[in-house]
Amino acid sequence: MKITNAMVLAAGLGTRMRPITDTMPKPLVRVAGKPMIDYVLDALVVAGVERAVVNVHHFADQMIEHLGGYGGIEILISDERDALMNSGGGLVKGLKLLDRSPAFVMNADLFWIGDQALGRPNLTLLADFFDPSRMDMALLCVPLDRTTGHNGKKDFSMAPDGRLKRYQPGDPNPVVYAGAIALMPQLFDDAPQDAFNLNIYFDRAIADGRLYGTLLNGHWMTVGTPEAIEEAEAAIRHHGSGA
């Protein structure tokens, strides 16, 4: 499946990244000389995405200025300066700026490296895996041993066909959600118009047997604290620098 639209969730306060985020938004924090959101945007460009909505709140002017200078993709701003909408509400608001075709949803502070050296880019893998006739959402996932900066929490258990359920101790094939989704915007036609957490839709899809995942290539990382920056940069040196 060809996916040319995306929504990047970038409006959080980044409280765990203080004091750095006392003066700048978390997505602009540099890791190995590159703002975190640029790893995400670069992955979208490689996958052939043509337009992306980015929501902004914390130091929104800095975000808008940076995004205005990013080339290779049309970027639309979903302004949440008046009120944070949480992950679900922010997604629903941002998707209204796009058409009804399939879309990627990305977290601005979660990214991976090394996938292109191992074959097709991860977002291409995700798009090809996504089957709306069977799936409400397809999630990019990663085994815990290919992560850096993660707290060790296992999010889902993955069946051989990719079907996901919430992880319980002892479940086989535990995986971590890697911060990328393929979905159809129609999924949210009945969604609340105020703030809500996207986990509501994860759990609904699980109950209906329609939440699926596929494993990413390469190495995945999350940078949640100032101390984690050095760890992430060491991982980039070890595993390679490509998005």
Tokens of 38: 């640029």
pTM (predicted TM-score): 0.93
User: φ, ψ for residue 2 (rounded to 5)?
Assistant: -90, 125
Break the chain into its structural domains and give their ranges. 5-239
Q: Encode pLDDT of 144-170 as tens digits.
A: 999 988 888 999 999 999 999 999 999
CB-facing half-sphere around the CA of 98: CA atoms within 13 A: 32
Residue whose structure tokens are 């609904």 = 204
| Separation of alpha carbons 35 and 108, rounded Å | 10
Look up the CATH architecture of domain 5-239: Alpha-Beta Complex (3.90)
Coil, strand or helix: which one is 172? coil
The gap from C-alpha 43 to its chain's centroid, in whole angstroms, comes to 11
Which amino acid makes up residue 27? P
Q: Give 33's contacts (C-beta < 8 A, 6+ positions apart).
A: none
Q: Give 153's contacts (C-beta < 8 A, 6+ positions apart).
A: 176
pLDDT band at 243 (very low <50, low <70, confident <90, very high): very low
Tokens of 174: 């535990």
Q: Encode pLDDT of 48-72 as tens digits.
A: 999 999 999 999 999 999 999 998 8
Residue whose structure tokens are 């995700």 = 126
Which amino acid makes up residue 14? G
In the prediction, which pLDDT does 118 show? 65
Q: Does residue 108 carry a pLDDT above 50? A: yes
